[in-house]
């Protein structure tokens, strides 16, 4: 049994068989063969070698035709390597004597060669290691038949273990088959984490190198609540986790009963619950659970799914799907909120030593105006057909906001000239997630129709902590008194000027903060579908009067730890069955 | 064993040493003979019919290697292979190594 600590990013617990993806995204299969399968597996190996050889031959001929026979020479070396008699012999030994699978044997033998090459003194010869990796990939491709994308086509339940998963890979996961996943890299704010939570797939990230220790088919436990992965658990651990899963099932059945009951406090104040989504597919669950609209629609996936910039048609198609799924319910579409480092189609910034302080989000949009305009046009076009609002992220000063609004006004003018319909009175809002915006909020009030507090970034910028850096991650907490004060300022200013304000960071989906936020004056919670039932449960169990007392007391505490302890205590009194 | 054993010392001449293309040609040539053929130095002797094994030698220009063949056609094998190892592998084009495979193999 092996217990690996990581970062919990999506709650829930799962026990299942490991599906392991290597660094190239190729599935690493079972290490050992079934009894009596040796001959069939050897035949499969020979077929893979023959197919890979034919493929390389084909490449060689094509290149030789185009560029001359000299250029095909490296392929001819590859053919020789694939058919190396020693290689074949070594593979056969592992398959026959150690009962290793052909895939595992191929990786093992070829990686050993690669290691030898890498250690050679001559750089030129050491580079041959890349030929070996190429051959390994090729053979594995033929042995496995499939490559990446496999997660999207799973036909039985599995727990996915991988070095990393892209947001779109995560988004393509079918929660019916992907029971949970764990990755070596990644942090709590990553899109992968956000998507996992949206889909309700338990996930742990940031585990550090571990994938090579696991082989396909092994039993794994993912504890997305505690942020732990357990490889080959012992019987006792398994039994304990099985009972945890049972408990969670019955708790979620209870929560599901809340259905679309209104989110009203015991003293009769109605609270708005809005959904946070990344994909249109998340909308039905949000509505089923009683969301009155979408408070945050993240548009980043459009930019992350390919190597080319999405065009207006693609933007429009995605936004239209969202607007249609919502009918007349409102949706806040947030413009692109990514760093240049994440966008392969843009030139990479030269001095990006601190991506979170660099060219990202609205700053990026204002630098690449064409890209920004494309997105704004698409949102505007959809505004003619649905209850669409627009929101700018990471606004840190007034000029920035005005420039963004100017681009929007330009886009409107263009559409007008082209005779394309849009809502001229579309509501425009901004994220409150940079401390400077909080401090100057009374100036912003005149310029926007609504605010949304983004606690994830607000916490990071207020406390100067990168939460994906495990050495300092512990400093990152929404409970820090400085953060609470900034939230209070924001809510107070918005209220004084009668501007709608919601909170869409992960803080709003964590039940421990619900009473505090209600007490501070928050009346609109924007959360993932997964978090709605619990938040609603708390809201329905408390009175505003009591929450105000809780908030006042919390604001007087001097450390995040004290705040958390106190809030936990208060919550356990009103909703004892919620596990934090 | 009464099989014929022939040994000869050879020096690598090619400027870039025994990299992929020369190793391929040597292995190919060796495979034409029935004899067991080894190439290497005292610490490390490898199967001359295996391109992968030849590459592990990391032989650069000027490296001295021992060629040993055991079997009926040992004489011819050593003769042919010694000539090859000490040649400049004229078929070798200088650009070949730089070509990236166009097809995405991942």
For residues A86 and B47, the answer to whether their CB atoms sit within 8 Å is yes
B-chain residues within 8 Å CB-CB of A87? 50, 52
Q: Tell me the pLDDT tens digit for each residue of A8-29.
A: 888 889 999 888 886 666 666 6
- What H or E segment, with its residue span, contains residue B52? helix B51-56
Query: Which position has the token pair 């109605």?
Result: A270
The active-site residue, picked from B14, B19, B41, B44, is B19
Between B17, B28, B52, which is nearest A86 by CB?
B52
Cα B42 to Cα A432: distance, rounded to the nearest angstrom: 71
Q: What is the pLDDT of residue A24?
A: 61
- Predicted confidence band at B94 (pLDDT cuts at 50, 70, 90)? very low
Q: What are phi and psi of A221, to 5 degrees?
A: -115, 130
The tokens for A228 are 């732990």
Average pLDDT across chain A, whole number: 89
β-pairing, A272-277 with A524-527? parallel
Residue B93 confidence class, pLDDT cut points 50, 70, 90: very low
Stretch A270-287: mean pLDDT: 91
Rounded to a whole number of angstroms, the CA Rg of chain A reads 27
Counting one residue from chain A and one from chain B, the pairs whose CB atoms sit within 8 A come to 96
**Residue A390 DSSP one-character state:** E
Pairing of strands B45-47, B64-70: unpaired
Give the β-pairing of A524-527 and A428-432. unpaired
Instruction: Report domain B5-89's class.
Output: alpha beta
**B103 pLDDT more than 60:** no
The pLDDT-based confidence of A580 (bands split at 50, 70, 90) is: low
CATH number of A2-25+148-251: 3.50.30.10
**Chain CA centroid to CA A424, Å:** 34
> Tens of pLDDT along A458-479?
999 999 998 877 788 889 999 9
Cβ A258 vs Cβ A533: under 8 Å: yes
**Which residue of B19, B56, B96 is in closest CB contact with A71?**
B96
Contact A141, A26 (CB under 8 A): yes
Domain boundaries, chain A: 2-25+148-251, 38-144, 258-574
In three-state secondary structure terms, A40 is helix
Highest mean pLDDT among A61-75, A214-228, A257-271, A491-505: A491-505
pLDDT at A160 (0 to 100): 92
Q: What is the pLDDT of residue B74?
A: 93
Comparison of pLDDT for A525 and A473, the residue scoring more: A525
Q: CA-to-CA distance for A118 and B55, rounded, in angstroms?
A: 11
Exposed, middle or buried: residue A473 (CB in 10 Å: 0-12, 13-18, 19+)?
A: middle
- Which whole-number Å values give the CA distances from A554 to A400, A455, A492, A560, in the listed order? 34, 17, 17, 10
Rounded distance between C-alpha atoms, residue A366 and residue A425, angstroms: 22
Tell me which DSSP letter residue A576 carries: T
Percent of chain A with pLDDT over 70: 96
* Residue found under tokens 């590859």: A78
For the structural domain made of A258-574, what CATH number should be given?
3.20.20.60
Interface test with B, best of A75, A85, A140, A144 (most B CBs within 10 A): A85
Question: Tokens at residue A201, please?
Answer: 């797939």
Cβ within 8 Å, pair B50-A85: yes
The string of DSSP letters for A490-542 reads HHHHHHHTT--EEE-SGGGG-GGGHHHHHHHT--EEEE-GGGHHHHHHHHHH-
pLDDT, tens only, A144-196 = 765 444 666 777 788 999 888 876 677 777 788 899 999 998 877 777 787 78
Residues in chain A, total: 580
> For position A562, what pLDDT does the model report?
96
pLDDT at A145: 65
Give the domain ranges of chain B: 5-89
Return the closest-CA partner of residue A109 out of A23, A162, A45. Answer: A45
Q: What are the residue ranges of helices labelled H in A257-368?
A: 283-288, 301-304, 312-326, 361-367
Contacts of A91 (CB under 8 A, 6+ apart): A45, A102, A105, A106, A109
CB atoms B52 and A122 under 8 Å: no
Q: Which fold has domain A38-144?
A: Enzyme I; Chain A, domain 2 (1.10.274)
Across the interface, which of A63, A132, A148 has its CB nearest the CB of B102? Answer: A63
**What does the pLDDT read at residue B97?**
39
- Annotated catalytic residue A504: yes
Q: Which residues pair with A183 in a beta bridge?
A: A162
For residue A62, pLDDT over 90 is answered with: no
Phi, psi (degrees; rounded to nearest 5) at A265 = -75, 170
Contacts of B95 in chain A (CB under 8 A): 70-71
Prediction ipTM score: 0.82
| E strand or H helix that includes residue A142 | helix A128-144
If we measure between CA atoms, which residue out of A184, A204, A190 comes closest to residue A467? A190
More confident residue, A579 or A528: A528
Tokens standing for A172?
Answer: 């393509």
| Inter-chain touch A75–B101, beta carbons under 8 Å | yes
Contact A525/B at CB under 8 A: no
Question: Average pLDDT over chain B, rounded to whole?
Answer: 82
Contact B51 A84 (CB under 8 A): yes
Residue A509: name the closest of A535, A488, A480 by CA.
A535
Contact call for residues A470 and A447 (beta carbons, < 8 A): no
Instruction: State residue B92's pLDDT score.
Output: 45
Where is pLDDT greater, at A37 or A393? A393
Burial B18-42 (b: 16+ CB within 10 A, else e): bbbbbbbbbbebbbebebbbbbbee
Residue A251 CB coordination number (10 Å): 15
- Nearest by CB to B28, which of A80, A120, A131? A80
pLDDT of B106 above 50: no
List A142, A286, A315, A504, catalytic entry:
A504
Contact A203, A222 (CB under 8 A): yes
In this complex, do A121 and B58 lie within 8 Å of one another by their Cβ atoms? yes
Q: Would you call A396 helix, strand, or coil by DSSP?
A: coil
For residues A428, A434, A437, A441, the Cα torsion angle rounded to the nearest 10 degrees is: 80
């Amino acid at each position: 049994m092996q217990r690996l600590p990581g970062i919990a990013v999506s709650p829930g617990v799962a026990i299942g068989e490991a599906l392991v993806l290597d660094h190239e995204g190729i599935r690493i299969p079972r290490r050992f063969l079934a009894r009596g399968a040796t001959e069939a597996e050897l035949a499969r190996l020979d077929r893979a070698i023959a197919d890979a050889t034919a493929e390389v031959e084909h490449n060689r001929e094509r290149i030789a035709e185009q560029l001359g026979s000299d250029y095909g020479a490296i392929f001819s070396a590859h053919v020789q390597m694939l058919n190396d008699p020693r290689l074949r012999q070594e593979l056969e030994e592992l398959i026959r004597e150690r009962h290793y699978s052909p895939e595992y044997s191929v990786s093992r033998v070829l990686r050993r060669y690669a290691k030898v090459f890498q250690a050679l003194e001559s750089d030129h010869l050491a580079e041959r290691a890349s030929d070996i990796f190429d051959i390994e990939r090729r053979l594995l491709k033929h042995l496995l038949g499939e490559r990446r994308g496999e997660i999207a086509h799973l036909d039985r339940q599995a727990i996915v273990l991988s070095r990393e998963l892209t947001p779109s890979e995560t988004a393509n996961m079918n929660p019916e088959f992907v029971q949970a996943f764990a990755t070596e890299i990644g942090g709590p704010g990553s899109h992968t984490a956000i998507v996992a939570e949206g889909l309700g797939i338990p996930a742990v990230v940031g585990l550090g190198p571990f994938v090579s220790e696991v082989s396909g088919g092994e039993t794994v436990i993912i504890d997305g609540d505690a942020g732990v992965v357990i490889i080959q658990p012992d019987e006792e651990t398994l039994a304990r986790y099985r009972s945890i899963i049972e408990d969670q099932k019955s708790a979620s059945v209870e929560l599901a009963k809340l259905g679309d009951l209104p989110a009203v406090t015991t003293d009769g104040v109605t609270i708005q619950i809005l959904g946070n989504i990344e994909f249109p597919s998340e909308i039905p669950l949000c509505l089923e659970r009683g969301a009155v609209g979408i408070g945050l629609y993240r548009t980043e996936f459009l930019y992350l799914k390919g190597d080319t910039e999405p065009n207006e048609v693609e933007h429009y198609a995605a936004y239209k799907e969202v607007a249609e799924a919502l009918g007349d319910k409102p949706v806040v579409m947030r413009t692109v909120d990514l760093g240049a480092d994440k966008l392969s189609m843009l030139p990479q910034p030269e001095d990006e030593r601190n991506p979170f302080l660099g060219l990202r989000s609205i700053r990026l949009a204002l630098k690449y105006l064409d890209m920004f305009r494309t997105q704004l046009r698409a949102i505007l076009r959809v505004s003619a057909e649905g209850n669409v609002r627009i929101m700018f992220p990471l606004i840190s000063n007034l000029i920035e906001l005005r420039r963004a609004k100017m681009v929007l006004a330009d886009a409107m003018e263009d559409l007008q000239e082209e005779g394309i319909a849009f809502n001229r009175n579309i509501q425009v809002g901004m994220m409150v997630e940079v401390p400077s915006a909080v401090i100057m909020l009374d100036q912003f009030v005149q310029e926007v129709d609504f605010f949304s507090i983004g606690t994830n970034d607000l916490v990071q910028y207020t406390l100067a902590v990168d939460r994906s850096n495990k050495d300092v991650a512990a400093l990152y907490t929404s409970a820090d008194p400085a953060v609470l004060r900034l939230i209070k300022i924001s809510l107070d200013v918005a209220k004084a000027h009668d501007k709608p304000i919601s909170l869409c960071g992960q803080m709003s989906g964590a039940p421990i903060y619900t009473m505090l936020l209600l007490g501070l004056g928050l009346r609109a919670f924007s959360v993932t579908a997964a978090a709605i039932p619990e938040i609603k449960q708390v809201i329905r169990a408390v009175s505003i009067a009591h929450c105000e007392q809780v908030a006042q007391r919390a604001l007087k505490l001097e450390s995040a730890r004290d705040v958390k302890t106190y809030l936990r205590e208060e919550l356990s009194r009103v909703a004892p069955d919620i596990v934090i | 064993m009464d099989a014929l054993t022939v040994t000869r010392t050879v020096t690598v001449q090619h400027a870039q040493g025994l990299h992929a293309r020369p190793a391929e040609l040597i292995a190919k040539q060796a495979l034409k003979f029935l004899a067991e053929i080894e190439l290497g130095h005292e610490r490390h002797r490898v199967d001359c019919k295996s391109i992968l094994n030849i590459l592990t030698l990391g032989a650069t220009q000027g490296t001295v290697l021992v060629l040993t063949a055991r079997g009926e056609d040992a004489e011819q094998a050593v003769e042919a292979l010694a000539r090859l190892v000490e040649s400049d592998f004229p078929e070798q084009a200088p650009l070949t190594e730089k070509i990236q495979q166009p097809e995405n193999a991942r």
